[in-house]
Amino acid sequence: MQHVRPAGTGTGVAALDVAAVSHSYGQKQALRDVSFSIAPGTFAVLLGLNGAGKTTLFSLISHLYDTRHGAIRIFGHDISRAPGEALRRLGIVFQARTLDLDLSVYQNLSYHTSLHGIGSAEARRRIDAVLETVEMAGRLHDKARSLSGGQMRRIEIARALLHRPPLLLLDEATVGLDVQSRAGILANVRSLVKTEGISAFWATHLIDEVDESDHAVVLVEGNLVANASVSDIVRSTGTKNIGEAFSTLNPRKTSPAMQEPS
């Protein structure tokens, strides 16, 4: 199996460092003084109900929104002061589908390599490698519209890996998919973290996507209410599992365990 190696990450630097970040839409405050960090080589979950502030936070991390209050650093590079260096280390899978359905898998991926200034020969090597990594090697010349929802998601993950980022950001990556597709994509990303040494920050509102070994960042109505390993969060709340722990941390809302993908 070919491997996708992340770009140089430095030593002893957090993969993602969010420091005292707040964000408002007019009078509505979406995030309030949120601070946490994610270590390199970690699978971390951003857990919260719809409307908790997950997409706002991801929009700030990916520099779609300006960070006006607080600071965000990706492997030590401030997203506001050095956006090029920070974003070069970030691969993003957005919640909305972003493939061009009229193009082939190869055309979708080669366009991305062109944007990153990767030459054609090297681009083909990287495309072959990432498609093997996400178990889609046989679909190189298929039109994107011929793929299932889960297969499209795998191609989007492959595309996010082409420039070899050490941090992968996934915003509700399994939304709208069936249970089997969801499980397969989640397992694939966890495997990437384990075998390739990348970091992944996975936003979800679904409790069954959270593993006891994960690091969890929990948002409730824009407030950070937990930032620890899942097992530590369960222990500190005196509960039996992360579903019960989340209900304890957010008693006024329905637990994500009761939510369905939307």
Say if CB 187 and CB 154 are below 8 A apart.
no
**Which is it for strands 167-171 and 28-38: parallel, antiparallel or unpaired?**
unpaired
Region 218-242: mean pLDDT is 96
Report the alpha-carbon distance of residue 163 to residue 159 in Å, rounded. 8
- Residue 95 pLDDT: 86
- Residue 97 pLDDT: 86
Express each pLDDT in 167-180 by its tens digit: 999 999 998 888 99
Report the candidate in 227, 123, 93 with the shortest Cα–Cα distance to residue 249.
227
pLDDT at residue 5 above 70?
Answer: no
Q: All domains of the chain, ordered by start, with CATH?
A: 16-99+166-258 (3.40.50.300)
Express each pLDDT in 155-209 by its tens digit: 999 999 999 999 999 999 998 888 999 999 999 999 999 999 999 999 999 999 9
pTM, full prediction:
0.88
Confidence label for 262 from pLDDT (cuts 50, 70 and 90): very low
Q: What percentage of the chain carries pLDDT values higher than 70?
A: 92
pLDDT at residue 9 above 60?
Answer: no
pLDDT at residue 1 above 90?
Answer: no
Express each pLDDT in 69-83 by its tens digit: 999 999 999 999 999
| Identity of residue 3 | H
Confidence label for 254 from pLDDT (cuts 50, 70 and 90): low
Report the alpha-carbon distance of residue 101 to residue 167 in Å, rounded. 26
Average predicted confidence (pLDDT) for the chain: 91
The pair of structure tokens assigned to 173 is 């990556």
Region 145-153: mean pLDDT is 95
Express each pLDDT in 54-71 by its tens digit: 999 999 999 999 999 999
